[in-house]
Amino acid sequence: MDLVVKNGRIVDPSQKLDRVADILIRDGLIRTIGDGAFADVPVFDATGLIVAPGFFDIHVHLREPGTEEAETIATGGSAAVAGGFTAVAAMPNTNPPNDNPSITYYILSEARRSSPARVFPIGAITKEQKGEVLAEIGEMFEAGIAGISDDGKPVMNAQLFRLALEYAQMFDMPVIQHCEDLNLSKGGVMHEGIYSTRLGLKGIPAAAEETMVSRDITLTHMTHGKYHVAHLSTRGAVEIVREAKARGLRVSAEVTPHHFTLTDAAVADYDTNAKMNPPLRSADDVAAVVEAIKDGTIDAIASDHAPHHINLKMLEFDRAPFGITGLETAVGLALTKLQLPITRLVELLSINPQKIMKVKSWGLFEGSAADLTILDLKRSWTFDVHRSRSRSRNSPFHGWQLKGKAVATIVGGKVVYEDRA
């Protein structure tokens, strides 16, 4: 089970690495990084390619258990490696939700059995994600969760959220919030603004996100907790997080590719693949998010991969569920749209996600798990949703021409995905 990844440009900002070198993998671990021939070892020729520590998508929905017609751990894991991700963090809104160790064990054992990508479950903050009492956070931690979140059901009760921020410190896990004041957003199906008014659709104001980010940061300051903002989407939220970081609070934030790529104008034809939560925001919000990615206010890019069966997306806009798939388009969109230095991109997709979640870190160093993402920055390609490995087809990016792609994904020393030109 040896492999040499040869002659690639190896980029790992956590090791301050950016040079052309060979990586020798043995028994699933990185054995040596250097130059020169390794006799009798199979070679993966990475000439002209970027070799990075495995990308980690910290916000995905694998739908298993409970909604296997939309996605399974196997199909979601397969989509992940096809998108260049060696690892994903799975949100707990399964059915039943991941609010106790038996579900955590199930997800992990199914992932070991069927997923080419590593899967780190996220546990629920509260039992049944109901926002009433804390779930068995410690028991789930022992079983293997990497963070806690009630995901699409934000914890509206401030006292309960305070307790979660305090309790999670026993395990050094992040408390991840989908920031949405449910009173302000009630009934909303898209961003509140000119387009929602023109289209006659009920809006979700930016303030629904910002009031909760603001409240949570006050509680983070009070508790010294470790707080992570999921899929941040508004200028106001960017500013609140920026200010909190300046004060030295343990706050991190992620953004999705659709929130730095599309605006609420995409809803104009009542396309249900433009319906997600948080909704696509205004052009001004998109500009603020892009700036925040560049200046470091935003720590990570995460897809919020949310597969839905086509039957549900064929409904009227008001009735269709929120969410789009994203695992296979995230890296291509980031490379195409953001024009970042490659070191910054690796931070956003690998280094920082590892720091945010409670995981044993990996990278381009001896002894690390041999989880690698290999990129071809020059590859032009077109996303074809009908060839997606996800079980669902709800993507607004079908037919998009992108430049830059993950062309190979290595997990534990094994090439689990390869797409050489």
Partner 1 sequence: MLKRKDLLGVQDLGREEILEILDTAESFHEVSTRNIKKVPTLRGKTVINLFFEASTRTRTSFEIAGKRLSADVVNISSSTSSVSKGETLIDTAKTLDAMAADCVVIRHFASGAPHTLAKLTKASIVNGGDGAHEHPTQALLDAYTIRHRKGRLNDLKIAIIGDVAHSRVARSNIHLLTKFGSHVWLCAAPTLMPPGIEKIVCENGELLHISHSMDEAVEGADVVMMLRVQFERMSESFFPSVREYFRYYGLTTVRAERAMPDVIIMHPGPMNRGVEIATEVADGPYSVILDQVSAGVAVRMAVLYLLLGG
Of 89-97, 200-208, 343-351, 395-403, which part binds partner 1 (CB under 8 A)?
A: 200-208
Tokens 């039992």 appear where? 127
318 interacts with partner 1 by CB under 8 A = yes
Beta bridge partners of residue 408, listed in sequence order: 374, 418
Of 40-48, 100-108, 184-192, 233-241, which part binds partner 1 (CB under 8 A)?
A: 184-192
Single out the residue of 1, 43, 194, 310 in contact with partner 1 (rule: CB under 8 A). Answer: 194
My answer on whether omega of the bond before 205 falls inside 30° of 0, hence cis, is no
Single out the residue of 105, 270, 381, 400 in contact with partner 1 (rule: CB under 8 A). Answer: 270
283 interacts with partner 1 by CB under 8 A = no
196 interacts with partner 1 by CB under 8 A = yes
187 interacts with partner 1 by CB under 8 A = yes
Let me know: does 66 contact 94? Beta carbons within 8 Å: yes
CA distance 324 to 126: 25
Number of shown-chain residues binding partner 1 (CB under 8 A)? 24
The residue count for the chain: 421
Of 35-43, 187-195, 337-345, 381-389, which part binds partner 1 (CB under 8 A)?
A: 187-195
Paired tokens of 11? 């980029």
Single out the residue of 116, 188, 203, 257 in contact with partner 1 (rule: CB under 8 A). Answer: 203
CA distance 170 to 181: 28
Let me know: does 131 contact 155? Beta carbons within 8 Å: yes
Single out the residue of 192, 254, 328, 347 in contact with partner 1 (rule: CB under 8 A). Answer: 192
Single out the residue of 49, 51, 125, 201 in contact with partner 1 (rule: CB under 8 A). Answer: 201
Let me know: does 333 contact 255? Beta carbons within 8 Å: no
Least distance CB 40 / partner 1 (angstroms):
60
Let me know: does 296 contact 368? Beta carbons within 8 Å: no
CA distance 75 to 223: 39
Q: Which is nearer to partner 1, 317 or 365 (CB)?
A: 317
- Name the active-site residue from 12, 216, 299, 304: 304
Q: Which is nearer to partner 1, 7 or 196 (CB)?
A: 196
Active site residue 304: yes
186 interacts with partner 1 by CB under 8 A = yes
Least distance CB 282 / partner 1 (angstroms):
10
139's enclosing H/E stretch is helix 137-143
290's enclosing H/E stretch is helix 283-295
**Amino acid in position 123:** G
284 interacts with partner 1 by CB under 8 A = no
CA distance 213 to 121: 23
The contact set with partner 1 (CB under 8 A) reads 186-187, 192-203, 205, 269-270, 311, 314-319
Q: Which residues are catalytic?
A: 304
